[in-house]
């Protein structure tokens, strides 16, 4: 049976149908019913499982049936907190989609954009607020928002919210909303810290879990290729071409690195754009939209910027560098293989990154082997073809495989000079180094 079994209001059902969903996903099957009964929920699910609808549908239903306060009342009745602006925007899109036959108004409130527009929208009356903690607190301090009539509160991606240091902000916000409310907390991982937060803000919650978070999604094939740090860009270009990759998310650990990779791809005629927290909100939105619409073949993102990105059809995730935290690896590769689709995750491993790979193996309980990329001859710093970082079997580091230990005294001069005169590339969006935007409202 599809969504009819839940007893959602007709307008919501129509919204779900219009979104093209026929069958609830596992997290939806588990969470929607108890949420409709008014229970507090702890939802353990990663992005890509359909978790947004799992809380948005019951939230809308409650607003339809729960209270006679008219739509667009001065006081919002539902609040969703998200760690990043992108996620806030995505949740707002989901609310607009599922609630398209309802009279409710929703607003996404986040930093990095002009506050005046938000003030105008707020003054017109709003039913649902989706916000990052920083900007919401800003509005609360200005008294431009009144949260005293909130009936449903959702914490989306709570683990990330804690990772990003929002715990005090979240607590402050929760203290400002009525204790008589329904609360739902969604998180990819349930740590002791999350449990503590949940114990403080939820009442007799029902816990629903889908999948084991630390294990990457089964439909994703994981590849590890050995690489010299200095020839990773050539390996990237080679990989993009050899596998005819169309919609590729490349991860860089640093913002500067993301810019650099994107520039270099541009110089090779590969349309790409960088997404990270030093970009203004407008730039970030354009980057994401351009990638979604296929104007950019490659999106080069940092971990925080990519968190929660919901882009259908990412065929490949490439880790240009090995993430230092195993959790980030799982988040990264989860951007492909969404909703059960097949996907490929590729990681370039330099010798000095083996230790991070070992932590990934420990975290995921999987063993990986690092191989040379077929048909690619890595170029060493001195320009000579070289043997890439030593392949290792079954994920174990071979003592002495680090080329620095092999008497290699090459100078640390990069093969590519950043800022070298380059040919103009049309399909490439270049951004100035604008530091005005912060990643999280
Ligand atoms: P989420 O995990 O909420 O980010 O959702 C991931 C993707 O799954 C989004 O593109 C949703 O539109 C899509 N989705 C959510 N629920 C369903 C469903 N029941 N059937 C098909 N697609 C869905």
Return the pLDDT at 207: 95
Q: Is the pTM value of this prediction over 0.85?
A: no
Quickly count: other Cβ atoms within 10 Å of residue 218's Cβ. 10
Task: Tell me the CA–centroid distance for residue 48 and ligand 1, in Å.
Answer: 6
The answer to whether residues 221 and 304 belong to one domain is: yes
Cα–ligand 1 centroid distance for 202 (angstroms): 25
pLDDT of 413 reads: 37
Q: Ligand 1 centre from 57 Cα, in Å? A: 12
Residue 96 and residue 144 in one domain: yes
> What's the CA gap between 301 and 298, in Å, rounded?
10
| Of 174, 209, 244, the domain-final residue | 209
**Residue 332 sits in the same domain as residue 356:** yes
Kindly state if the Cβ of 199 falls inside 6 Å of ligand 1.
no
My answer on whether 221 and 205 are in the same domain is no
- The answer to whether residue 263 sits within a structural domain is yes
With 0-12 / 13-18 / 19 or more C-beta atoms within 10 angstroms meaning exposed / middle / buried, residue 6 is buried
Domain that holds residue 104: 2-209
Asked if 189 and 231 sit in the same domain, the reply is: no
Per the domain annotation, does 371 fall within a domain? Answer: yes
* Cα–Cα distance measured from residue 74 to residue 124, given in angstroms and rounded to the nearest whole number: 8
Cβ neighbours around 407 below 10 Å, total: 6
Q: Which of 187, 209, 231 is the last residue of a domain?
A: 209
Whether 110 is covered by a domain: the verdict is yes
Cβ–Cβ contacts within 10 Å for residue 7, how many? 12
Q: Is residue 356 part of a domain?
A: yes
Indicate whether 290 and 406 sit together in one domain.
yes
Number of folded domains in the chain?
A: 2
pLDDT number for residue 26: 92
Query: Does residue 166 sit in the same domain as residue 300?
Result: no
Q: Are 11 and 42 in the same domain?
A: yes
Q: Report whether residue 308 contacts ligand 1, using a CB cutoff of 6 Å.
A: no
Determine which residue's CA is closest to atom 16 belonging to ligand 1. 50
Same domain, 341 and 395: yes
CA of 19 to the centre of ligand 1 (A): 9
Burial class (CB in 10 A: 0-12, 13-18, 19+), 438: middle
Cα 362 to averaged position of ligand 1 atoms, centre (Å): 30
pLDDT at residue 261, as a whole number:
96
257 lines ligand 1 (CB under 6 A): no
Q: Consecutive 10-residue runs of the chain (441 residues): their mean pLDDT?
A: 91 95 94 97 89 97 78 83 93 96 94 88 92 95 94 95 89 96 93 87 94 60 91 93 86 93 94 89 86 91 74 85 88 72 86 92 85 80 55 31 31 35 30 28 26
Residue 310 CB–ligand 1 contact under 6 Å:
yes
Angle between helices 167-175 and 192-201 (to 10 degrees): 10
* 1, 5, 22, 25, best to mutate for ligand 1 pocket (most atoms within 8 Å of CB): 25
Task: Mark which of 176, 209, 242 sits at the end of a domain.
Answer: 209
CATH classification at residue 222? 3.40.50.300
Residue with tokens 């431009």: 144
* 306 falls within a domain: yes
Q: Are 164 and 308 contained in the same domain?
A: no
* pLDDT at residue 70, as a whole number: 60
Count the alpha carbons within 13 Å of 345 in the hemisphere toward its beta carbon.
Answer: 24
Ligand 1 atom having least distance to the Cα of 308: 4
Whether 439 is in a domain gets the answer: no
Q: Is residue 179 part of a domain?
A: yes
Q: How far is the CA of 49 from the centre of ligand 1 (A)?
A: 6
Residue 363 and residue 418 in one domain: yes
- Is position 438 within any domain? no
Are 162 and 302 part of one and the same domain? no
Model pLDDT, residue 71: 59
């Amino acid at each position: 049976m599809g969504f009819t079994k839940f007893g959602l209001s007709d307008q919501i059902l129509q919204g779900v149908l219009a979104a093209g969903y026929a069958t609830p996903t596992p997290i939806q099957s588990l969470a929607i019913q108890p949420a409709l009964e008014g229970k507090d929920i702890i939802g353990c699910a990663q992005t890509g499982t359909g978790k947004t609808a799992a809380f948005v549908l019951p939230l809308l239903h409650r607003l339809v049936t729960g209270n006679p306060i008219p739509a667009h009342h001065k006081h919002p009745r539902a609040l969703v907190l998200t760690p990043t602006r992108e996620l806030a925007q995505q949740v707002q899109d989901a609310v607009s989609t599922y609630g398209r036959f309802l009279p409710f108004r929703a607003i996404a409130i986040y930093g990095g954009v002009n506050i005046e527009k938000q003030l105008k929208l707020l003054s017109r009356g709003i039913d649902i607020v989706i916000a990052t903690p920083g900007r919401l607190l800003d509005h609360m301090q200005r008294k431009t928002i009144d949260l005293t009539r909130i009936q449903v509160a959702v914490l989306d991606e709570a683990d990330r919210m804690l990772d990003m240091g929002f715990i005090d902000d979240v607590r402050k916000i929760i203290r400002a909303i009525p204790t008589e409310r329904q609360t739902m907390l969604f998180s990819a991982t349930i740590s002791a810290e999350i449990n503590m937060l949940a114990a403080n803000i939820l009442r007799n919650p029902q816990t629903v879990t889908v999948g084991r978070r630390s294990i990457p999604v089964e439909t994703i094939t994981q590849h590890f290729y050995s690489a010299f740090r200095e020839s990773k860009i050539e390996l990237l270009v080679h990989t993009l071409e050899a596998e005819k990759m169309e919609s590729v998310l490349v991860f860089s650990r640093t913002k500067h690195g993301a810019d650099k990779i994107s520039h270099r791809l541009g110089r090779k005629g590969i349309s790409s754009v960088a997404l990270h927290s030093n970009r203004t909100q407008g730039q970030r939105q354009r980057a994401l939209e351009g990638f979604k619409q296929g104007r950019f073949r490659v999106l080069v993102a940092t971990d925080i910027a990519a968190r929660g990105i919901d882009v259908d059809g990412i065929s490949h995730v490439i880790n240009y560098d090995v993430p230092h935290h195993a959790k980030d690896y799982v988040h990264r590769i989860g951007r492909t293989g969404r909703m059960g689709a097949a996907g490929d995750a590729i990681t370039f491993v330099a010798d000095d990154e083996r230790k991070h790979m070992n932590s990934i193996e420990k975290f995921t309980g999987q063993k990986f082997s690092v191989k040379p990329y077929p048909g690619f001859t890595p170029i060493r710093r001195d320009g000579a073809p070289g043997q890439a970082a030593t392949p290792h079997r079954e994920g174990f580091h071979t003592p002495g495989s680090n080329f620095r230990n092999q008497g290699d005294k090459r100078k640390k001069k990069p093969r590519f000079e950043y800022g070298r005169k380059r040919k103009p590339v049309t399909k490439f969006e270049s951004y100035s180094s604008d530091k005005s935007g912060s990643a999280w409202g």
